């Protein structure tokens, strides 16, 4: 594999990873809006919220209140 071929491969893999990240974020946003995993609306949004960590977006769970 030549250098130019390797550079093209790396660029293609980076684009593929970015498309996958965007698709996953869109899927997560739709789930949060639909209230999947909770009783809907604000409760679902309170359960998981997106957090930026080391340049990547992940979901962070809200703390569970003790009763």
The answer to whether residue 39 sits within a structural domain is yes
Instruction: Provide the pLDDT confidence category of residue 31 given band limits of 50, 70 and 90.
Output: confident
Buried b (16+ CB within 10 A) or exposed e, 1-31: eeeeeeeeeeeeeeeeeeeeeeeeeeebeee
At residue 10, the pLDDT reads 92
**51 found inside a domain:** yes
Tell me if 35 is assigned to some domain.
yes
> What is the torsional sign of CA 15, 21, 25, 31?
positive
Q: Does residue 30 sit within a domain?
A: yes
Highest averaged pLDDT of the listed ranges 17-21, 41-45, 47-51:
17-21
Predicted pLDDT at 29: 85
Domain span including residue 37: 3-61
Average pLDDT over residues 3-29: 91
Residue 33 lies in a domain: yes
Residue 62 has pLDDT above 90, yes or no: no
Q: What is the pTM of this model?
A: 0.45
Number of structural domains in the chain: 1
Distance between CA atoms of residues 29 and 25, nearest Å: 6
For residue 18, is it within any domain?
yes
Whether residue 66 is contained in a domain is answered as no
- Residue 67 inside a domain? The answer is no
């Amino acid at each position: 594999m030549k250098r130019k071929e390797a550079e093209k491969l790396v660029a293609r893999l980076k684009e593929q990873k970015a498309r996958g990240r965007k698709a996953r974020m869109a899927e997560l946003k739709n789930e949060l809006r639909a209230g999947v995993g909770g009783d809907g609306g604000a409760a679902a949004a309170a359960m998981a919220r997106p957090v930026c960590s080391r340049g990547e977006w992940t979901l962070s769970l809200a703390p569970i209140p003790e009763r």
